[in-house]
Structure 1
Amino acid sequence: MALDALISEGHPLSHDLEIDLVVPRPLAEPLPLKSIPVRVVPEFDSPRLPQFWVQAQLPWHVPGGLLSFCNLAPVVLRRQIACVHDMHTRLMPSSYARGFRWAHRIILPLLGRRAARITTVSQLSRRHLIEFGIAREQDIVVTYNGSDHAKQWDSARSTLAVNRARPYVLCLGRADQEYKNVRLLAELAPFLDEMGLDLWMPGDADETAILRHVPEMPANIVLLGRISDDDFKKALEGALCFLFPSRIEGFGLPAVEAMASSCPVIASTSPCLPEICGDSALYSDPDDVRSWVENVRQLSIDPDLRKRMVEKGHARASSYSWRWIAWNYLELMIQVDADFGEFNE
């Protein structure tokens, strides 16, 4: 959408550049695009094979270059910019199914050698791509992610209704990815309860996921299940703070979304959250429950500290702009066209 806005405005870098969005099926919710048409290349689905559309079908429908944001892009295309978000399948393999891990292990090095440019979302991810031999250092560009989308969420559209009167802190619960550190959240809950705080947990974590880490279900954990963006916005706006105890992130988008939504962030000291959040978050070790308790306590008793963290968070989130990232991709497309000796496709 940010690329579409720049093209619609007649940005100089978009002159003589034709872009369309290729998808395997019609979009369930059409994007409000003004200048980028959507082209459907129907997916072969009898039987539906993993990666078949990407690797075997899509390349036949790319007359010029390809811009892919989906990690596993077609390995046969050289005139291509592909975004590889992280190397979690190698760094945190227990969080992923075996087939998913092996697809990344096989495809990513091939893609890194073939694609004209590889982009990624943090300096940490760039370093990992180099260390795992995915691509050459000079071919990897860090674009980061944006926060603008969170400002479009509207809590007035939310249907979230929680029949609890106590103040709360907010987190995300993932049952299937150990590095998201549900263990710390489960162990933290009783301490929050002593402070008169509930712990709201949207996501796919259920009571079974919590009970893997503690002997009984903490009474102050409120499992919200999967919620909409507008619901998430409402929950962020009402929370004392947002807790993000991950052991590793490629970028850590929820932390930036929280900052953009006026919610102070307490983040893990694990990479790459200090890189992304800077001095706009409070930090705790992902295994030190007492440190998380103390940071929450400080925000609860010091309104001035909370106000400062909200203001810093706004400024930090505003520095991550999809418009700026789209500008970078326009420049990269021009560079790749120049590498291939063509400017008009």
Structure 2
Amino acid sequence: MVTSTVVDASGVGPGGITRVLTEVVRCWPAGERMRIVAAPAGWQPPADTAAEVTVAGTQRDGRIGTIAEATRTLREVTGGDAGPGTRVLSLSPSLAVRGSRLPVTTIVHDLAFRLWPDGLSASVRQYRKLSYSTAIGRSERLLCVSARTRHDLLGLYGVPYEKTTVWHPGSDLAVTPGVLPGPVAAVHDRGGRYLVVPGHAAHKGVELAVEALADLPGHHLVVLTGGRPVDAFLRAAAASPAADRVIFLDRLSDAEYAATVAGAAAFVMPSHFEGYGLPAAEALRLGTPTVISPDPALLEATGGAAARMTTWSGAALVDALRQLTDRPPVTAAEPGGRSWRAATAHLHALLSGGAPAVAARL
């Protein structure tokens, strides 16, 4: 039985992996100890966690400083005083795991830097190449967030299936939807309808949603940038005949995010590539009709509950949106994905060595 878990968060950046950190800590078993190494700046353990959580340093001084400090901290906290039953969990491939004196389990979310490197600088690609190689070589076990990512590890790195396991994240949100952001509230108050699309990375396919918008005169398009707008998407929107109906939002609070997605006519993910597709599963959990691209990970994440585009094109997105009118509404009894409590219980069992490859969706 695992009684103490050291969590390496040095590879956690803004976005979905931060949510993984927060929800896993929130749902970790009562009374067990967790030590978070290199937590994202400003991150705090959720107040309702039942575990004994301590933060051993935060990310600072850029990537080099963060990795150096996390490596030293891991070496210290996994030394002779770590105690029996201590395990190390790295939430994303990181060079810092070289400092661990104990076996490491690493979560692998995707291999986008190899399969969809568009928009990534040469330095980022080189760092991820080194961090993934290090994590693969240093980890005792690799947890893949989808069967697609597990397959990619086999194909690109030759990692045998015996070393990998599929672990699906949760999809429920631990907040009540709050107030709509101003620009979205203005559309809503006029009786308008809007679509929501994630747009914080080049592979998200926002240009396809912009293309489709020209054939959807009754809708606005709300782009969630996470505070990181993509220049190519800004240019595509500016050049569109529907430019006045595209809204780019800055980073939202969890409550604003939930309100924006829950109030949408549809949530769309025309992504060119995904390792899993957590936002689509979250949208279904909120009861929002959802459209996905042909990407296999998105089909896995949504379990067939989303309308699927047949090709990567604006026309295919419009056709998929029309399919939604023939589908029964998503209900709480048929949510996307599984709960974070179920996902965390599965993760805990995997670290304890007593779980099946894929646990039930609850």
TM-score by length of 2: 0.77
Mapping for residues 119-198 of structure 1, pairs under 5 Å: 119-133=143-157, 135-148=159-172, 150=173, 152-160=174-182, 162-164=185-187, 165=190, 166-174=192-200, 177-193=201-217, 196-198=218-220
Question: In structure 2, what is the equivalent of residue 339 of structure 1?
Answer: none
What SS does the corresponding residue of 2:37 show, helix, strand or coil?
Answer: strand
CA contact (8 A) 2:38 2:70 kept: no
**Quick one: structure 1 residues 120 and 206, their matched pair in 2 at CA, closer, same or farther if it must change by over 3 Å?**
closer
- One-letter amino acid matched to 2:223: M
Offset of residue 2 of structure 1: 4.6
Distance 1:322 1:79 in 2: 25
Question: In structure 1, what is the equivalent of residue 299 of structure 2?
Answer: 274
CA contact (8 A) 2:214 2:240 kept: no
**Quick one: structure 1 residues 201 and 118, their matched pair in 2 at CA, closer, same or farther if it must change by over 3 Å?**
same
**Quick one: structure 1 residues 25 and 316, their matched pair in 2 at CA, closer, same or farther if it must change by over 3 Å?**
closer
Question: In structure 1, what is the equivalent of residue 341 of structure 2?
Answer: 323
Distance 1:82 1:295 in 2: 36
Q: 1:49-96, CA deviations, whole angstroms, 9 ceiling, x for partnerless residues?
A: 352223344222222431121221513535111111111111112232
CA contact (8 A) 1:75 1:107 kept: no
Q: Percent identity?
A: 22
Distance 1:335 1:141 in 2: 12
What SS does the corresponding residue of 1:127 show, helix, strand or coil?
Answer: helix
Offset of residue 159 of structure 1: 5.0
CA contact (8 A) 2:194 2:264 kept: yes
Distance 1:238 1:46 in 2: 37
The answer to whether the aligner puts 1:35 opposite 2:51 as a matched pair is: yes
Distance 1:25 1:225 in 2: 19
What SS does the corresponding residue of 1:246 show, helix, strand or coil?
Answer: coil
**Quick one: structure 1 residues 122 and 44, their matched pair in 2 at CA, closer, same or farther if it must change by over 3 Å?**
closer
Mapping for residues 163-312 of structure 1, pairs under 5 Å: 163-164=186-187, 165=190, 166-174=192-200, 177-193=201-217, 196-203=218-225, 204-205=228-229, 209-212=233-236, 215-216=239-240, 218=242, 219-299=244-324, 302=325, 305-306=326-327, 308-311=328-331
CA contact (8 A) 1:86 1:125 kept: yes
Question: In structure 1, what is the equivalent of residue 5 of structure 2?
Answer: none
The answer to whether the aligner puts 1:65 opposite 2:62 as a matched pair is: no
What SS does the corresponding residue of 1:112 show, helix, strand or coil?
Answer: helix
**Quick one: structure 1 residues 333 and 209, their matched pair in 2 at CA, closer, same or farther if it must change by over 3 Å?**
closer
Q: If each structure's strand is expressed as a fraction of its own residues, which one has the higher value?
A: 2
**Quick one: structure 1 residues 4 and 60, their matched pair in 2 at CA, closer, same or farther if it must change by over 3 Å?**
same
Distance 1:262 1:69 in 2: 28
- One-letter amino acid matched to 2:350: L
- One-letter amino acid matched to 1:110: T
Distance 1:292 1:281 in 2: 12
Offset of residue 216 of structure 1: 4.1
Offset of residue 104 of structure 1: 1.8
Q: If each structure's helix is expressed as a fraction of its own residues, which one has the higher value?
A: 1
CA contact (8 A) 1:247 1:271 kept: no
**Quick one: structure 1 residues 43 and 309, their matched pair in 2 at CA, closer, same or farther if it must change by over 3 Å?**
closer
**Quick one: structure 1 residues 80 and 241, their matched pair in 2 at CA, closer, same or farther if it must change by over 3 Å?**
same
Give unmatched runs, 5+ long, in structure 1: 11-16, 337-345
Mapping for residues 74-113 of structure 1, pairs under 5 Å: 74-77=97-100, 78-113=102-137
Q: 1:258-308, CA deviations, whole angstroms, 9 ceiling, x for partnerless residues?
A: 001110101001221112213201011452322211232343xx3xx35x2
**Quick one: structure 1 residues 127 and 289, their matched pair in 2 at CA, closer, same or farther if it must change by over 3 Å?**
same
CA contact (8 A) 1:21 1:36 kept: no
CA contact (8 A) 1:267 1:284 kept: yes
Offset of residue 173 of structure 1: 2.2
CA contact (8 A) 1:83 1:120 kept: yes
Distance 1:47 1:283 in 2: 38
Q: CA RMSD in A?
A: 2.9
TM-score by length of 1: 0.80
What SS does the corresponding residue of 1:20 show, helix, strand or coil?
Answer: strand
**Quick one: structure 1 residues 76 and 132, their matched pair in 2 at CA, closer, same or farther if it must change by over 3 Å?**
farther
Question: In structure 2, what is the equivalent of residue 340 of structure 1?
Answer: none
Q: Point out which structure has higher relative CO (alpha carbons under 8 A, 6+ apart).
A: 1
